[in-house]
Structure 1
Amino acid sequence: MTQAATGLPDVNTVGLSAPFRWLAGGWSDFRKSLGPSLTYGAILVAASVGLTAALYQAGAIRFLFVVAAGFMLVAPILAMGLYQTGRTLERGERPRMGDILFVRSALRQDLFVLGFALFLVYSVWVEMAHLVYGLSTHKFHKTLPALVDFMLFDPEGHNMVMTGTIIGGVIAFLAFSLIVVSAPMLLNTEANVFVATLTSLRSVARNFLPMLLWGIIIVALTVLGIATGFVGLIVTFPVIGLASWRAYRDLVPSSAGDLAAAG
């Protein structure tokens, strides 16, 4: 891997149009790998529906929004198969379902360390969500309609949403900064989690506004997918994952060498 004088990979500077270019590239790759990408998205949706049903049965549906926010934090880890799809398409090869579902290079300690770091971030978010909810109301909302009614029509609910959005946004952007480049970078078995994470943070710091816009686009597409009863995620999640591979390749110039070495 080509590295700068600091011992870390060089990072490109991109403009505000870059996120839209990545998204267009992700959509193009999605169309080229329609079957595997839809299958990948369908598996994710099935898991999401199952988790929602479990929350409902346990009378914990009030935590649905917390879980949805957590999904946005860990989604880059869940997209390893989509990064592999993007890499395969770049080689001019046809993605195979088995290679996408079981990415061998992802089964190593560095990715588990990154996943554990995200778990810690998510744990902080869950505790903060509990605290914000507990301080906002003395009532117990057992059903989703009751919770939505509280959020939309109760002044205390408005305060809860505002406070939760600010705190959650800060935590989410921190997680995004840690993983937006590091997750796809770890497909390269020569990269370690520390170099990958620092490269991700440097990419965001050097391109703050474009990466902030990219994060907003990801959140908007994810919320859109969830708002359709998760069905929309069958399309939006693969497109985001494939576009994220494009983002990594654009931000880290040495990733072209990684691609050639992997071929």
Structure 2
Amino acid sequence: MLIGLLLTVGLYSLDLTSLILPLAGGFTILAPILVVGLYDVSRRLEAGLAVSLADCFGAFGRSLGQLAAIGVALLVCYLVWIRTALLLFALFFNQDPPPLDQFLGNVVFSLEGAPLLILGTLIGAVFAAAVFSITAVSVPLIYDRPVDVMTAIGVSLLTVRQNYKLMFGWAALIVLVTVVGVITAFIGLAVAVPVLAYATWHAYRDLIVEGPIYPEDAQLPPAVPTPAVGPSS
């Protein structure tokens, strides 16, 4: 919430308030790595352990290298999304992003702005779907077990594919909650983010079970415990 408010103030001072919406949309790209500490809180609550702020921040140390790798990948996705938003403004209006009042009048509530809104929404949906598919369970999996980034992403993609109806509903709920959080001046995110992180952790625990990743590997004794996708919902 604090980061969102600081970004809003910064954009307002630069007269780039129309970028608040794409920046807020980009929050869903970075959110999976930002809430690792909340996964630790959820794990401790599930196990009946005490929770402390130090443990929350220390959660990244469990698999720092792998979490850093996926964090960098998400940051690149976020920067590409912001650059795409800027290019769309330039493509349709031959200018830098206008102030928010002009953006609402000339884009959101005008026929001339419809192509930008449609194309921007479609591109944003592609970004969101891709990021959700690779992070749906990969980040909590990396935090929870000694797996590498590529293995975790593969498990996440397989989980989304096998449970696509459930995961589509979950993704839609995340978008809805994020929108509500943004339109309440980011105040709603202070409640929504911990709740979503807690729910994501338990969804991960329900979807991922111990065992080999792929059925054909069932006869191979793994060197370390490896994850497998649970039964399709």
Using the size of structure 2 for normalisation, the TM-score is: 0.85
From the superposition, tell whether residues 141 and 125 of structure 1 become closer, same or farther in structure 2 (CA, over 3 Å).
closer
Aligned to 1:102: 58
Q: Partner amino acid for 1:214?
A: W
Aligned equivalents of 2:49 and 2:64: distance in 1?
A: 24
Aligned equivalents of 2:79 and 2:190: distance in 1?
A: 27
Offset of residue 250 of structure 1: 1.1
Q: Which has the higher contact order (CA 8 A, sep 6+)?
A: 1
From the superposition, tell whether residues 131 and 140 of structure 1 become closer, same or farther in structure 2 (CA, over 3 Å).
closer
After superposition, the CA RMSD in angstroms is 1.9
**4+ residue segments displaced more than 4 Å:** none
Aligned equivalents of 1:46 and 1:207: distance in 2?
A: 34
Aligned equivalents of 1:140 and 1:130: distance in 2?
A: 7
Q: Secondary structure at the match of 2:29?
A: helix
In the TM superposition, what whole-angstrom CA distance separates every residue of 1:176-223 from its partner, at most 9, and x where no partner exists?
Answer: 111110111111251211111111111111111211111010010011
Residue correspondence of structure 1 range 9-48 to structure 2 within 5 A: 45-48=1-4
Using the size of structure 1 for normalisation, the TM-score is: 0.75
Tell me, yes or no, if the aligned pair for 1:151 and 1:158 is still in contact at 8 Å.
yes
Greater Cα shift, 127-136 or 213-222? 127-136
Aligned equivalents of 2:11 and 2:153: distance in 1?
A: 33
Any unmatched runs of 5+ in structure 1?
A: 1-44, 259-263
Q: Partner amino acid for 1:157?
A: G
Any unmatched runs of 5+ in structure 2?
A: 212-224, 227-233
Offset of residue 59 of structure 1: 2.3
Tell me, yes or no, if the aligned pair for 2:180 and 2:188 is still in contact at 8 Å.
yes
Tell whether 2:175 aligns with 1:199.
no
Q: Secondary structure at the match of 2:116?
A: helix
Offset of residue 119 of structure 1: 2.0
Aligned equivalents of 2:20 and 2:28: distance in 1?
A: 13
Tell whether 2:65 aligns with 1:148.
no
Q: Partner amino acid for 1:148?
A: L
Q: Secondary structure at the match of 2:187?
A: coil
Aligned residues: 213
Tell whether 2:178 aligns with 1:222.
yes
Aligned equivalents of 2:39 and 2:210: distance in 1?
A: 16
In the TM superposition, what whole-angstrom CA distance separates every residue of 1:117-156 from its partner, at most 9, and x where no partner exists?
Answer: 1122223322322222222224555422221222322212
